[in-house]
Chains A and B, each alone.
Chain A
Amino acid sequence: MIAYLIRRILYAVPILIGVNLLTFALFFVVNTPDDMARMQLGIKRVTPEAIENWKQQRGYDKPLLLNRAASGADMVTDTIFWQKSAGMFVLDFGYSDDGRSISREIATRMGPSLAIALPTFLIGLVVYVSFALLMTLFRATALDIAGVALCVVLMSVSGLFYIIGGQFLVSKLWHLVPISSYAAGMDSIRFVVLPILIGVVGSVGASSRWYRTIFLEEIGKDYVRTARAKGLSELTVLFRHVLKNAMIPILTGVVVVIPLLFMGSLLTESFFGIPGLGSYTIDAINAQDFSVVRAMVFLGSLLYIVGLILTDISYTVVDPRVRLQ
């Protein structure tokens, strides 16, 4: 397994270089360094000298990919691409174009994002799986039909509606929790309860239906019939046998997103005033801040790769037949 992991990690390097190159190309097809300078400097009283000065200070006065004026290795290294990308492979994200440390920003904002995303993920997983098992348990009954219908209804409602409706009911009408804001430590509980609740409810439809499909597929298999024939209760069959055997498809969808929980949620964080990472990338795209965009895309890719590796490892945990070679 160690050899497999090393191989996967080595595969990640060209993938990350490719992602980085693609981000770079896409960004600079749309924006020129002059555009970036103008965006940062504002529209009032901006002189060409100020633009040149801004580019020079941040290294955007260099050629994009190849410096023909330089010689030797400098032809590659004395370019915007190299200067902005090389450090990321040792997780040195540098500074945003407005001069803030990106690593510090990520470190500061990761906590609040996780405070929402992790409980939402864990509670959600339990609720969705339980609800799906419940529907499976009562399959083809009125409860199952009502459950599926409820799932379809919940799936059809926009996520924004849950947020605005939740804030209106719970915070505005009933005054049970603050509408928005955040605090560190234990005091954060009252700020995160509602976003977590809304996050869980908002995804209950799609996720429960998906898990129900998986469980229904399993429940028709021979080993289930055998378990029942042995006299096991329906609950035991479901929780001890069906759930265990359905873990591979569940893990495929679940483990990969665990590292990405750090990245936060744009809508939830904006409406609830959570100082997380959710809007960091979008704000950077709007501000044409390439340093932040490339750092966040790189981090997202890295976390996704980590998630895929973790998924592979998790297969070996739930299914002893799986060997990573």
Chain B
Amino acid sequence: MNRYISCLLTLLLASCDGGLWNNPYPAADAGKSILYTAFTERPKHLDPAQAYSENEYEFLAQIYAPPLQYHYLKRPYQLIPLAAAQMPAVRYLDMHNRALPDDAPAEKIAYSVYEIRIKQGMRYQPHPAFSRDAQGKPEYDHLAPRDLRDIHALGDFAHTGTRTVTAADYAYQIKRLANPQLHQPIFGVMSEYIVGLKDYAAVLQQALKSNPDAFLDLNAYPLPGVQVVDEQTYRITIHGKYPQFAYWLAMPFFAPLPQEAERFYAQAGMHERNLTLDWWPVGSGPYYLSENDPNLRMVLSRNPNYDSEHYPAEGEPGDAQAGLLADAGKLLPLIDRVVFSLEKETIPYWNKFLQGYYDASGISSDSFDQAVQVNVGGEAALTDSMRAQGISLSTSVATSTMYTGFNWLDLVVGGNSDRARKLRQAIAIAVDFEEFVSIFANGRGIAAQSPIPPGIFGYREGEAGINRYVYDWVNGAPQRKSIEQARRLLAEAGYPDGVDEQTRQPLVINLDTTASGVGSKARLDWLRKQFDKINVQLVVRSTDYNRFQDKIRKGDTQMFYFGWNADYPDPENFFFLLHGAQAKVGKGGENAANYGNPEYDRLFGQMKNMDNNPARQVIIDRMQEILRRDSPWLWGYHPKNYVLQHGWLHNVKANVMANNKLKYWRVDAGQRDASRREWNQPVRWPLWLGAAALLLFGGWMWRVLRQREEAR
């Protein structure tokens, strides 16, 4: 037995590389410029034409370099060039292609032409698709199945190469947005704007049908709305005026894609090996995906060919004092490697963060009290134990909104009648979202006054920004109106004390939700209690995801939970969720409440094409007033992000719009190693105790058995 224990211990010790026993990373990586972080869900897509989720952008934004990006430090959020040499020049044309002045009214503008000039000398990441043989021909463009026999990952190819990024690569990626072989989430919206994109998709569909097995050469078909002017310049022509188009240019949808990469992956045998563009991206950004095992870890390595960007030299007031400008002017990225480990469960994630094996972490509800205490003034502060570890906290309000919608088509809660409006207003007062945030989100959120979250143009602070149908301004803060007022509104709506005057039946309202089970019970019970305050019965209809979506599409609901995460920081991206033309029923849009108000729709049409100026603010104020009065949603809350980071991680500033943040971060690997050593020294006595207990028990057993045998 002793021998086996010794062997096991020897093996265990041998496998520890001489480092800390609980270090999940190779000891050889100590002291290196590596960021350790985690992901909780494997990304579905890594193809820039298909990816649209936050967890996909976490990777793609580091790998691809679209023309524009958000300034990392400045607020409000501001677009700046990334791959573009300068901000795109926009020209407006009338329907006869005649130039219009910049201040031409939106209705006169038939086309907007975005001319984008990209930086010179940008190069792609090392990739076998670019590798050339001695004659200068592509090395891996005619692979036979036997050539792929020993190839299981991209790193198994012996050679890689690179090439300069051209304007044609950007044009090619825009064409991919219409490729019928892919699912492009923004094809619907882009085909309304980019000239000829819809017809182009039809042409490609036809070409694919006539020759389904051939490589679909997108460059063989012209797309009128995209023109390559020269090596560095291309133009995108869109219908009408659409200022928000610039925001789309900051997303990976508009990053460059080399056609040879698509040809490379289209070869026989590649797909069977998961060698696809959706699995192994080919970008020109600061990092490239060097290891892709989404069941365990994904590793981004510095793109050795990325040398076109430096750390910003200016930011907001206070950034310099916070040390955020200490690296100004340095070549990006500042970290050589980023290791993302899959952590499906929050407990191991949190414990590894506390041990120093992750550099930053969010805070789950389980760990909130351990990490954060809320002081008398309601402000969140770190606990003493966190501060003792040198951990700091940064918070930011997400550009998201979590709301509860009323179905505008419903005969009881929907519609523009005074009766229904007052009923909705009464419910809006009764459902106390401040309490909800406090109980169920550990205070991580702010009750919403309208669909617009803070940080988005149109949001108003203070008294001017409150929803006067639900709140009063008392002692410098919004105060929810009393339940008596809600009851009065309910009575005016024809439901005195929660009873329908006409039918003499209690008012029953149904809420459709996918939430079910023990985890959601507390929330749903809380919601029922809110309705109980005004004697309205809430019936929760829990349903599976498919049925829920089906009900929403058909308008077969009264109330429902929903949420929205902004694509870009513009009020249009929130207000369109309530635009009549976007109604879910009949139009298949994003207006799940099917809200319709002609005045609101008219103002939306005016507001959406305007630049951010006082005139736009006036229209937004008017729109918010209409929404607050009509109350088609319970405005819910805007979640607040809490991020903890260790003292060795520098240049971290909350930025809810920019996904390409990692290139600005810097780690002090020496400090990290020292802290890890201090916090993770193995405690050996349990091993010796266990071994001793086993020996004693074994010895005792042996003696007892001997005695029994002798006694026989």
Residues of chain A at the chain B interface (Cβ within 8 Å): 30-32, 35, 38-50, 53-54, 57, 95, 98-101, 104, 108-109, 112, 134, 137, 164, 167-183, 186-187, 189-191, 193, 233-235, 270-273, 275-276, 279, 288
Contacts and interface: CB of A to CB of B under 8 A. Distances in A.
Contacts of B347: 164, 167, 271
Given A193-B12, A233-B709, A271-B347, A176 B188 contact: no
A167 B351 CA distance: 9
A47 B709 contact: no
B24 A176 contact: no
Given A31-B546, A179-B355, A279-B344, A234 B708 contact: yes
B208 to A, nearest CB: 10
A45 B296 contact: no
Contact of A273 (B181, B348, B545, B588): B348
A45 B188 contact: yes
B188 A47 contact: yes
A168 B343 CA distance: 16
Given A180-B343, A234-B705, A273-B296, A175 B11 contact: no
Nearest to B205: A53
Contact of B682 (A30, A43, A176): A176
A211 B682 CA distance: 37
DSSP class of A's interface residues: helix, strand, loop or mixed? helix
Contact of B21 (A100, A180, A190): A190
A137 B707 CA distance: 13
Contact of B355 (A54, A172, A189): A172
Nearest to B276: A99
Contacts of A233: 709
B279 A41 contact: no
B164 interface: no
Interface of B: 11-12, 14-17, 20-26, 44-45, 52-53, 180-181, 183-189, 271-274, 276, 278-279, 293, 295-297, 341-345, 347-348, 351-352, 354-355, 357, 544-546, 549-550, 588, 590, 680-683, 686-687, 701, 705, 708-709, 712
A175 B683 contact: yes
Point out which of B180, B273, B546, B701 has the most chain A C-beta atoms below 10 A from its C-beta.
B546
Given A179-B22, A182-B296, A273-B341, A42 B348 contact: no
Contacts of B681: 175
A48 B682 contact: no
B276 A179 contact: no
Contacts of A169: 686
Contacts of A95: 271
Contacts of B709: 233-234
Contacts of A170: 686
Nearest to B25: A181
Contact of A270 (B186, B344, B351, B357): B344
B351 A172 contact: yes
Contacts of B24: 178-181, 191
A235 B682 CA distance: 40
A49 B16 CA distance: 54
A42 B682 contact: no
Nearest to B562: A43
DSSP class of B's interface residues: helix, strand, loop or mixed? loop
Nearest to A137: B705
A279 B188 CA distance: 34
B352 A45 contact: no
Point out which of A109, A172, A187 has the most chain B C-beta atoms below 10 A from its C-beta.
A172
Given A47-B588, A109-B295, A179-B24, A174 B180 contact: no
Contact of A45 (B14, B185, B351): B185
5 contacts: A181-B296, A190-B21, A235-B705, A273-B342, A275-B342
B273 A104 contact: yes
Given A44-B52, A174-B686, A234-B708, A186 B15 contact: yes
Contacts of B296: 112, 181-182, 273, 275
B23 A178 contact: yes
B274 A101 contact: yes
Contacts of B701: 134
Nearest to A191: B24
Lowest 7 CB-CB distances: which A-B pairs, in order? A275-B295, A181-B24, A178-B24, A275-B296, A35-B546, A174-B683, A180-B348
Contacts of B712: 234
B545 A53 contact: no
A61 to B, nearest CB: 13
Nearest to A288: B546
A46 B185 contact: yes
A189 B188 contact: no
A54 B181 CA distance: 9
Given A53-B180, A180-B352, A181-B25, 15 more contacts: A40-B44, A41-B185, A47-B588, A48-B588, A50-B185, A101-B271, A109-B295, A175-B355, A176-B22, A176-B686, A177-B12, A179-B22, A186-B11, A273-B341, A273-B342
B546 A53 contact: no
B306 to A, nearest CB: 28
Contacts of A31: 546
A187 B278 contact: no
